[in-house]
Structures are given as structure tokens and as C-alpha cells.
């Protein structure tokens, strides 16, 4: 590699690495707030587990950060070189735009290879591990939400309960107050049970507080402060208070089939082969249509991963003439151009998912349209810039 090529390659590599790192960090922070902040603040995720989960999210963040980071890095480096007259000096020495673009396209090819490995292997594996580890960590620590000798008011709406003793999921000396919805929050029902337990439903993502043989003191809702109208009675063998944990408990990989997007290349090909089995399925035409739709979802996942990896090379190609021409017009719009291009690409890509419900239109092939369009745009811009 010539000295000039090495200079351009290293400059673009370092800038792209910084851009990818920043975008991946922003993505991790956004997803951490959405998925992990609540459990972490509730004490369900120890710091070491939280850090491990964030590391497992890194390949998922790189799926989106890598193409955009390459685009930003190339635009910034070539824009700086054009603004400092380095590009003009190269052309004066007889070096065309193709010579300048070779190290950039090499970096784009290496980035595409890395993106293929991430999309088809690392991201699905780590994402499945992330979901499983997050579920287990919360499941193991969810009992901490019900601390003994503490009034708990955040699990069940309009309900406060108190547990005297706790041994795992088994509870003793349980007190429950059901409150009036609204501002006054007066007690409508009071229950006391000698024992209880916490039950889980992994499939539904729910848990529930079960009171064993409770005694209830029910008030008249119209005047709950009048104790003379209290109705005290045994409520039967059990009284159940469900509280949903959907925001905390994700279905683990062992109890829920992962989405096609979270399957590795080998798993996707195996699933595609299974769905392509010509053996008739029970259920007739409806079952056959459902099977075809499921196979199309697998094909869409295969195409989306490949098209997403190709976007790295396509963005690198389009960024070369844009970085040169935008800065020659003495504007500081490099970042705005990068954002506009990335938004157009991903908006077009997401809009094509609408056709997943119409397998006859081949949405798996349509997903290659955005990189093909941007490849044509990059080639056209490259030719125009090369003639200037």
C-alpha cells in the first residue's frame, strides 16, 4: 500500500471507529434506559450483571452503528481533505478520484465482512444470551421486590401489602390493603392471611401474590370510613393479586421461539429447510398458508441481514464523491448529509417491511432495493465527481 493510501486508510479508519463507537454508545444508553433502567433501579440487576448485559447488547448496537459510522467517518475525513486542498493537490499530481477512493472502498469491504459476521452470527447469539440472562437475573431477584417487614405499594395498582416473614417464594403473616382509586386513597378492603406465596407464569410474563385462607374486612365503597358497615368474612382457600412483569421479564429462549431476526445463519437455513419440507401439514390450506408465511419471514430475515451488511460498502462508495463535493462548496453540511442519507435508507428499508404480509410481492427481494438504489446513486455521483 502506497504512503498516500496508508494515510487515507488510517485517517478514515480512526474516524470511522470513533463514529461507530459513539453511535454504539448512544444506542446502548438508549436501550439500557428502555430495558434495564427500571430493573436496575429496583435492585433486580446487580452492577456486574448490568455491565454484562450491556456488553451483550454491543453487537446488536453495531448492526445499526457500523453503516452509519462508516458514512460519517468517510464524509468527515474526505471533507476535511477537500477543504484543506489535499484533494486538489492529488488531482494536480495526476491522481484521480478512483485512486483516492481505493483505501475507502477497501475499508468498506472489510466493514461489510465484519457486518456479515455480526448480523449472521454474533448479534443473534449474544441477543439470545442477553434475553435469557436478563430474564434469569430478574427472576432470581424478583423476590427482593417483596421485602419482609416492608410496605410494598408499587407492584399492584391501588394495593399495599406487608409481609412479616419470607422464605423464598413462601410468605408468612401477610397483610393487604386495597385502596380507593383517585386522590383520597381510602381503604376499601383489608385482608390478613397467615401464609401466602408468589407464583410465576413465564409464558405470560406475570407473577401473582397468593394469600392462603385470608380473612377480609370489606367496606362500603360509598363510605369506606364508616366502620359499622364492614363485612368481615373468610374469602375461601386463596385470594390472588396478580401483578404484571412484562416490562421486567422477557421470555427466555427456552420457553419462547426467538424471532427470525435473532437466529444465526445456520439456524435460519435449518428453519428454511424445515419449512420447505413438501410433506403435507395437518390443517389443510390454512396451515399451508401459515407455513408459507413463516418461511417468508425467514427469507426476509436472511435478506435483511445481508442487505444491512452491504449497506456498509454502499455508504462508503456514496460518501467519497459527497465528501469531496460538499466541502468544495464551502458548507459544513457533512453530518447533515450523513443523517439525511441514513434516514432515507432506513426509512425505505422499514417501509418495505409492510410487504411481509404479501408474500406474492417477494418482500425478501424488495429488501435489496435500498442498497441497490444507493449503489446506483453512489456510482452516478462517483462518475460525476471524477469528471470535474
Distance CA 31, CA 42 (A): 17
Distance CA 249, CA 338 (A): 37
Residue 222 domain-assigned (yes or no) = yes
Distance CA 129, CA 109 (A): 29
Q: What is the pTM of this model?
A: 0.73
**In 3-state terms, what secondary structure has residue 54?**
helix
Picking from 244, 265, 296, the residue at the C-terminal end of a domain is 244
Percent of residues, the chain, with pLDDT higher than 70? 79
pLDDT of 337 strictly over 90:
no
Q: Once rounded to an integer, what is the mean pLDDT over residues 220-247?
A: 62
Residue 184 to residues 90, 152, 159, 227, Cα–Cα distance (Å)? 77, 19, 14, 17
Cell of 266: 445456520
What pLDDT sits at residue 21? 93
Distance CA 210, CA 111 (A): 54
125, 206: one domain: no
What pLDDT sits at residue 257? 64
25, 74: one domain: yes
How many separate domains does the chain show? 2
Residue 268 to residues 289, 294, 338, Cα–Cα distance (Å)? 19, 12, 32
Do residues 296 and 269 make contact, with C-beta atoms less than 8 angstroms apart? no
182, 119: one domain: no
What pLDDT sits at residue 233? 61
Residue 357 to residues 9, 36, 293, 353, 354, Cα–Cα distance (Å)? 43, 32, 8, 8, 7
What pLDDT sits at residue 331? 44
Residue 259 domain-assigned (yes or no) = no
Residue 180 domain-assigned (yes or no) = yes
283, 136: one domain: yes
Parent domain of 226: 146-244
The backbone torsions φ and ψ at residue 131, rounded to the nearest 5 degrees and listed phi first, read -60, -45
157, 104: one domain: no
Confidence band (pLDDT; 50, 70, 90) for 318?
A: confident
- Strand-pairing partners, residue 174, are 163, 193
pLDDT of 327 strictly over 60:
no
Confidence band (pLDDT; 50, 70, 90) for 13?
A: very high
Find all residues with CB under 8 Å of 334, minimum gap 6, and list them.
72, 75, 76, 79, 323, 326, 327
Residue 52 domain-assigned (yes or no) = yes
126, 19: one domain: yes
pLDDT of 56 strictly over 50:
yes
| Residue with the three cell numbers 455491565 | 51
Highest mean pLDDT among 77-86, 214-223, 329-338: 77-86
Residue 363 domain-assigned (yes or no) = yes
The backbone torsions φ and ψ at residue 280, rounded to the nearest 5 degrees and listed phi first, read -65, 140
The backbone torsions φ and ψ at residue 233, rounded to the nearest 5 degrees and listed phi first, read -160, 160
224, 309: one domain: no
Residue 274 domain-assigned (yes or no) = no
More confident of the two residues 19 and 208: 19
What pLDDT sits at residue 301? 92
Running DSSP on this structure, what letter comes out for residue 220? Answer: -
Counting other chains too, the contacts that 265-269 makes at CB distance below 8 Å and 24 or more residues apart are: 265/120, 265/121, 265/302, 265/305, 267/124, 268/120, 268/298, 268/301, 268/302
Distance CA 322, CA 302 (A): 30
Q: Once rounded to an integer, what is the mean pLDDT over residues 326-355?
A: 73
Q: Once rounded to an integer, what is the mean pLDDT over residues 104-109?
A: 93
289, 333: one domain: yes
Distance CA 269, CA 37 (A): 36
pLDDT tens-digit map of 287-314:
777 888 888 889 999 999 999 999 999 9
What pLDDT sits at residue 332? 53
Q: Once rounded to an integer, what is the mean pLDDT over residues 72-90?
A: 83
Residue 317 to residues 100, 311, 378, 380, 381, Cα–Cα distance (Å)? 11, 10, 6, 10, 9
- Choose the weakest-confidence range: 120-129, 170-179, 252-261, 364-373: 252-261
Confidence band (pLDDT; 50, 70, 90) for 387?
A: low
Picking from 244, 268, 294, the residue at the C-terminal end of a domain is 244
49, 176: one domain: no
Residue 268 domain-assigned (yes or no) = no
What pLDDT sits at residue 144? 66
pLDDT of 247 strictly over 50:
no
| Residue with the three cell numbers 413462601 | 170
Distance CA 215, CA 251 (A): 35
Confidence band (pLDDT; 50, 70, 90) for 189?
A: confident
H-only helix segments in the chain: 3-31, 37-41, 47-83, 86-92, 97-117, 123-141, 265-275, 284-328, 334-351, 363-366, 369-387
23, 128: one domain: yes
Distance CA 113, CA 24 (A): 18
Cell of 307: 442487505
Residues counted in the chain:
388
Running DSSP on this structure, what letter comes out for residue 142? Answer: G
Do residues 168 and 196 make contact, with C-beta atoms less than 8 angstroms apart? no
47, 107: one domain: yes
169, 79: one domain: no
| Residue with the three cell numbers 397468593 | 210
pLDDT tens-digit map of 135-154:
777 766 666 667 788 887 76
Picking from 244, 269, 302, the residue at the C-terminal end of a domain is 244
Running DSSP on this structure, what letter comes out for residue 362? Answer: -
pLDDT of 117 strictly over 80:
yes
First to last CA, the chain: 26
Amino acid at each position: 500500500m502506497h504512503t498516500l493510501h496508508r494515510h487515507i486508510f488510517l485517517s478514515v479508519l480512526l474516524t470511522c471507529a470513533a463514529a461507530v463507537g459513539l453511535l454504539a454508545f448512544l444506542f446502548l444508553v438508549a436501550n439500557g434506559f428502555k430495558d434495564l433502567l427500571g430493573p436496575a433501579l429496583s435492585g433486580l440487576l446487580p452492577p456486574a450483571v448490568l455491565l454484562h448485559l450491556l456488553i451483550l447488547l454491543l453487537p446488536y448496537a453495531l448492526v445499526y452503528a457500523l453503516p452509519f459510522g462508516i458514512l460519517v467517518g468517510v464524509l468527515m475525513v474526505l471533507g476535511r481533505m477537500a477543504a484543506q486542498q489535499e484533494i486538489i493537490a492529488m488531482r494536480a499530481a495526476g491522481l484521480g478520484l478512483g485512486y483516492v477512493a481505493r483505501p475507502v472502498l477497501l475499508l468498506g469491504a472489510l466493514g461489510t465482512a465484519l457486518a456479515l459476521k455480526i448480523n449472521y452470527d454474533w448479534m443473534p447469539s449474544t441477543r439470545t444470551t442477553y434475553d435469557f440472562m436478563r430474564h434469569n437475573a430478574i427472576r432470581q431477584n424478583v423476590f427482593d421486590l417483596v421485602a419482609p417487614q416492608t410496605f410494598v405499594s408499587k407492584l399492584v395498582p391501588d394495593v399495599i401489602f406487608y409481609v412479616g416473614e419470607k422464605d423464598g417464594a413462601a410468605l408468612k403473616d401477610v397483610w393487604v390493603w386495597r385502596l380507593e382509586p383517585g386522590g383520597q386513597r381510602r381503604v376499601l378492603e383489608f385482608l390478613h392471611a397467615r401464609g401466602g406465596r408468589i407464583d410465576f407464569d413465564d409464558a405470560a410474563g406475570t407473577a401473582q401474590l397468593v394469600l392462603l385462607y385470608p380473612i377480609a374486612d370489606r367496606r362500603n365503597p360509598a363510605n369506606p370510613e364508616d366502620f359499622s358497615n364492614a363485612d368481615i368474612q373468610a374469602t375461601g382457600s386463596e385470594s390472588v393479586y396478580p401483578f404484571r412483569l412484562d416490562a421486567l421479564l422477557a421470555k427466555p429462549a427456552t420457553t419462547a421461539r426467538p424471532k427470525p431476526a435473532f437466529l444465526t445463519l445456520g439456524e435460519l437455513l435449518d428453519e428454511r429447510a424445515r419449512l420447505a419440507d413438501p410433506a403435507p401439514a395437518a390443517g389443510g390450506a390454512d396451515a399451508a398458508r401459515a407455513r408459507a408465511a413463516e418461511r417468508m419471514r425467514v427469507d426476509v430475515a436472511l435478506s435483511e441481514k445481508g442487505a444491512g451488511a452491504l449497506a456498509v460498502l454502499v455508504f462508503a462508495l456514496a460518501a467519497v464523491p459527497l465528501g469531496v463535493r460538499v466541502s468544495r462548496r464551502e458548507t459544513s453540511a457533512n453530518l447533515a448529509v450523513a443523517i439525511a442519507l441514513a434516514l432515507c435508507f432506513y426509512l425505505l428499508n422499514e417501509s418495505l417491511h409492510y410487504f411481509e404480509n404479501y408474500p406474492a410481492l417477494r418482500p425478501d427481494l424488495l429488501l435489496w432495493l435500498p442498497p441497490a438504489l444507493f449503489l446506483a446513486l453512489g456510482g452516478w455521483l462517483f462518475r460525476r465527481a471524477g469528471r470535474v
